[in-house]
Chains A and B, each alone.
Chain A
């Protein structure tokens, strides 16, 4: 069963180290790396196929060509006699443009550039190699279509839109999945504001086995990146969502579905999100777009229906039953109610899952201060389970570390960061790449243990909000460190 590119898929375009996620649609113009083309011809090919862009924006599978080695192989030994007079290339800008306009293959243009370079033969072998690579990159426009994965999407997001994922570098995400022991069968709690990338990564590692509860701020979870993974439908069967604004009431026992998150605020947020993600909308697959549209529609329905909000579930059912007999416009009305009722039912189910307090792990990666998230959310996690908290900045994690120590119920707390260095490996030219990423965020990880009663009382939420620990406490901590 070769994975083939199908219409409606979410695919990733790749040119060298540049990625872009696109929905595979017929007669849809795609712009990538200053080129435009259509994906129509790519449909039916195997993922991993490399294509050339031909005139009219068509894609044509690239044939493997034997490298036409420059005939003589003459090369210089050093650059003592190479002078930069700006006239080594005998082809002018206009000549090159003319070649391009004639539709001549990039490979041939590169060959012509080499032949018309007076200094090429005097360059060292290595310099020649570098020259060819540079020209190839510019004139030989090949793109590879690959299947999305956490590896590809996390690399893509970090390079293209780091702001949307709170600068979570891909190696840091890799640490989170491992430190969190994310695997099939887990019951995971995920709180992220990384466009759904972290959620997608967790879903990939769980392979559709187990349960995920996503906690979201505002009106609904953002899953633009999740959509890019192209997960099969059944992966969403055990994906639940729960509003962050309901966590406190759930913990204090006052939870009810009577007051859902403020609808007005909800719409505002959705709008804001869709504006911010204007570019992303294009890169996300059709499926997500449809989903988003459906969600948006659902949400606007809710606004209209604010008055019916306080109706109990049974009432809704009863009313639905009665109104079935009534005319067309009312039918639509009850349809909305049915959705509302279903939404509440789901919320109750998710609340029940959380209330079991037996989650197998907690993953936090958000734009919010981690402390007020982690302390209450850990209540939902079983003992002897790992948790991982990401933050772009180190300082909030210092605070979180301190507060967790005060709370108790956690061991093996570790504040860490990874550095990632890429290498150029070529015969006699191996060295670290010139530039490396300055930072990919920080992680605070640990393991939960049974929280003892005495300490549990002292860790009451109100007390945890206390900003300044007493000096005595500080000293005790220092001893602990």
Chain B
């Protein structure tokens, strides 16, 4: 296993994801002789995990079962230990595409934070690219280094513990892309420019507040960046439900009710059972938005150095 290469079977030292159902899951470090407690009982790594196929159903001691999944940056994002606020896959996906990242890309990032984006960046630029990530918080920088080592991607990333606004990325003229998720990105635009290749590259800055965006855009313009573009992406998730609505009683005789004419063959009703399965109701399949959704994560400002 590694975060940049699929493996078939679970091995000692792997990071695996224990899937309990309903988006409830957690990461586990596979080790001979170790046990993991779940609400369904104990998982013994030596017998229950090691040598098994990823994606297998594992029966726990109380008879309940879980699935063991191969780690991916997306699953890691959902399960990683938070040391900071993190970026989620929706933002990460548009960042990756808009920064034009691909195998071989050299990327600079700051701050490293909890490494949610870092894992996704490393996955995308592997096997020939590299990530230079800068984190001014020493403990976080060290923790990130440790995780990269555990996840088998340390050769693809360099973690530097310094202040990007003062000292930059520690590299110059080598990056294809720069990503900033810091409180005052406008102070790092100059450093970002010098980190990018002389022939150009792309930059992205993530900020929750419009005032930060404003100052960042001004700085980008000042440093000669072009194609400056700010956007926001929102994820809407739907629950798939079978809903049944009651037919109101208007005092008509029962057999007359059918003359209301609910059209079973209506394509919008496709795949759903006909009315009157239960007396006096109509059933249909619907997608129900979650009661609450994430309304704002941050503004993403992209630009080009040319």
Contacts and interface: CB of A to CB of B under 8 A. Distances in A.
Interface of A: 2-3, 46, 48, 149-151, 154, 170-171, 173-175, 177-179, 181, 183-186, 204-209, 358, 360, 382-386, 394-395, 398-399, 401-402, 411-412, 414-423, 425, 427, 430, 447-450, 452, 467-469, 471, 474, 477-478, 481
Given A149-B100, A178-B74, A399-B285, A419 B304 contact: no
Contacts of B124: 183, 205
A425 B213 contact: yes
Contacts of B8: 358, 382
B54 A384 contact: yes
Interface in B262-277: 267-268, 270-274, 277
B237 A474 contact: no
A402 B89 CA distance: 25
B199 A185 contact: no
B63 to A, nearest CB: 16
B56 A179 contact: no
Contact of B6 (A2, A385, A402): A385
A2 B265 CA distance: 60
B103 A183 contact: yes
A269 to B, nearest CB: 26
Nearest to A384: B55
Interface residues of B, number: 75
A179 B89 contact: yes
A471 B277 contact: yes
A2 B199 CA distance: 6
15 contacts: A48-B199, A171-B93, A174-B97, A175-B90, A175-B93, A177-B93, A178-B74, A205-B102, A386-B72, A412-B19, A419-B236, A421-B233, A452-B57, A468-B272, A481-B239
Nearest to B230: A423
B236 A184 contact: no
A171 B94 contact: yes
Contacts of B72: 181, 386
Contacts of A149: 100
A417 B236 CA distance: 5
Nearest to A468: B273
Given A422-B230, A423-B299, A467 B271 contact: yes
Contacts of A469: 271, 273
A181 B241 contact: no
Interface string B188-215: 0000000000011000000000100110
A418 B102 contact: no
Nearest to B77: A178
Contact of A422 (B57, B127, B231, B283): B231
Given A181-B72, A421-B234, A452-B57, 14 more contacts: A46-B199, A170-B97, A178-B89, A181-B74, A205-B102, A207-B103, A209-B103, A384-B69, A399-B270, A402-B240, A402-B271, A412-B23, A449-B69, A468-B274
Most buried by A among B21, B23, B200: B200
B67 A449 contact: yes
B57 A185 contact: no
A207 B104 contact: yes
Interface of B: 4-6, 8, 19, 21, 23, 53-57, 67-70, 72-74, 89-90, 92-94, 96-98, 100, 102-104, 120, 123-124, 126-128, 199-200, 210, 213-214, 217-218, 228-242, 267-268, 270-274, 277, 283, 285-287, 299, 301, 304, 306
Contacts of A383: 53-56
A414 B228 CA distance: 33
Contacts of B214: 425, 427, 430
Given A385-B6, A449-B67, A411 B213 contact: no
Nearest to B21: A411
Contact of B301 (A415, A425, A449): A425
A386 B271 contact: no
Contacts of B103: 183-184, 205-209
Nearest to A399: B271
Contacts of A411: 19, 21, 67
Nearest to B10: A384
A394 B232 CA distance: 23
Contact of A416 (B68, B96, B235): B235
Given A171-B94, A384-B55, A150 B100 contact: yes
B231 A468 contact: no
